[in-house]
Amino acid sequence: MTADPLDQFCTLLEAARELDVHPDSLRKLANQGAVPGARKWAKRWVFDRDRLREFKGTYRNLPGRPPRQVAP
């Protein structure tokens, strides 16, 4: 049995979980060309799993703004 070639790719949500970032942040990085192996396929971002693992080793996730307190 041959492996499905699409198994080498993951979705935006899967990649965001892998990098522990918000999907919108990852989308911005992909739009800027900062994520190797990221490509648009049928208007959706997909990420090469091997290249994403390499990127994860070099990516420095800086904390954003702290969550806002919502009044009851």
CATH code of 5-58, in short, is 1.10.10
Note the pLDDT of residue 58.
87
Q: Can you give the C-alpha Rg of the chain in angstroms?
A: 15
Other C-beta atoms lying within 10 Å of the C-beta of residue 16: 19
Q: Which pTM does this prediction carry?
A: 0.76
Each residue of 27-44: pLDDT tens digit? Answer: 999 999 999 999 999 999
Where in the chain are the domains?
Answer: 5-58
- The overall average pLDDT reported for the chain is 86
Task: Give, rounded to a whole angstrom, the gap between the first and last alpha carbons of the chain.
Answer: 57
Local confidence pLDDT in tens for the 72 residues of the chain:
557 667 899 999 999 999 989 999 999 999 999 999 999 999 999 999 999 999 998 887 776 666 666 666
